[in-house]
A = this chain, B = another copy of it.
Amino acid sequence: MTRQYRITLLPGDGIGPEILAVTVDILKLVGTQLDIDFQFQEALIGGVAIDETGKPLPDETLEICRSSDAVLLAAIGGYKWDNLPREQRPETGLLAIRAGLNLFANLRPATILPQLIDASSLKPEIVEGVDIMVVRELTGGIYFGEPKGIFETETGEKRGVNTMAYTESEIDRIAKVAFEAAQKRSGKLCSVDKANVLDVSQLWRDRVTLMGKKYPDVELSHLYVDNAAMQLVREPKQFDTIVTGNLFGDILSDAAAMLTGSIGMLPSASLGLEKPGLFEPVHGSAPDIAGQDKANPLAQVLSAAMMLRYGLNEPKAATKLEKAVLEALAQGYRTGDIMSQGMKAVGCKAMGEVLLRILES
């Protein structure tokens, strides 16, 4: 039977429209092959939304997103809007859509692709086979905790204050996402905190441990954040799925991403309790090469794969996309950002055609 999904497309700014167009063609083909009917609808976000409506996230866009099964975002921002006040900047649209869809779980894979292993600053034998998923809490912790601000002390000097806080229910829901992600992967979950010093981390560790009892098939371990940062550098292969709070996840997901050496290849997913989730590449809108058919569409394609796996529960289709990307790299096709000697240089559209050809064969 045909499965139907409504997908909201948010092309955004810079190279966004180009890489998303390539991805939509690929989704259509895979849909035909696997009897999935994708219904695409486009909406505005970021700089282009500011230009057309004055707001980085128009209400209409949020409504369209809410009524869909998944949201596929490309990239936002550009020089043109950099000097606007903060609430009118493209990035504010991104924060607003995450909040508007209640996306509290950020999934950031850091996978070494064998064809690009030389891009890593680490030795090949250290990073070979690295396949890490960082599950980061996205709507709580110190980035949102109250009280916050700059206050005056009794002695008249300024004191800057932020609050790192988590409630039991906030911890439970992100832990659940992480245990389920670990189940879909190797069944290993490492929770990262600073429970030897922080009370909020002690609660975090207690609740994650408790949740672990419901997932006896997942092997749970705990690391302090400073040790986790060390271990990521020392022996990244020891990790599979990592779950951690907003600040620690911000730091560790970026450090883990950098282990691959090719951040332009990485997708991400942001999930809530219900549909729709939001799927987008980690890289930005690259305004310097926009409209020149030079962009690398692979992180966008891999974001669509995450949408299929984590947003629509279509693992077969997800695997098809992931394998096509690996095969295109194995055949030597490279966009400019990942080009190396002896490889075949292609543009954005040509890379898309390579993927279509691989999927058809």
A residues with CB within 8 A of B: 121-123, 126, 142-143, 145, 148-150, 153, 157-169, 194, 197-204, 225-227, 229-230, 232-235, 247, 250-255, 257-259, 261
Contact = CB atoms under 8 A, between A and B. Distances in A.
Given A150-B203, A160-B203, A255-B255, 6 more contacts: A150-B202, A159-B167, A159-B203, A161-B199, A162-B201, A234-B261
A238 to B, nearest CB: 12
Contact of A159 (B165, B194, B247, B261): B165
B254 A160 contact: no
A165 B157 contact: no
A40 B357 CA distance: 77
A151 to B, nearest CB: 9
5 contacts: A121-B235, A122-B122, A159-B203, A162-B199, A230-B258
B169 A157 contact: yes
Contacts of A162: 163-165, 198-201
B258 A233 contact: yes
Nearest to A153: B167
Q: Which 6 A-B pairs have the closest CB atoms?
A: A160-B203, A160-B200, A229-B255, A230-B258, A233-B258, A226-B254
B160 A201 contact: yes
Nearest to A165: B161
Of the candidates A159, A168, A203, the one having the most CB atoms from chain B within 10 angstroms of its own CB is: A159
Of the candidates A121, A232, A253, the one having the most CB atoms from chain B within 10 angstroms of its own CB is: A121
A258 B229 CA distance: 9
A112 to B, nearest CB: 13
Contacts of A194: 247, 250
A200 B145 CA distance: 12
Contacts of A259: 233
Contacts of A200: 160-162
A207 to B, nearest CB: 9
B235 A257 contact: no
Nearest to A149: B199
A133 B253 CA distance: 24
Of the candidates A148, A164, A233, A261, the one having the most CB atoms from chain B within 10 angstroms of its own CB is: A233
A226 B203 contact: no
A201 to B, nearest CB: 7
B204 A233 contact: no
A160 to B, nearest CB: 3
Contact of A233 (B143, B165, B225, B255): B255
Contacts of A121: 122-123, 126, 233-235
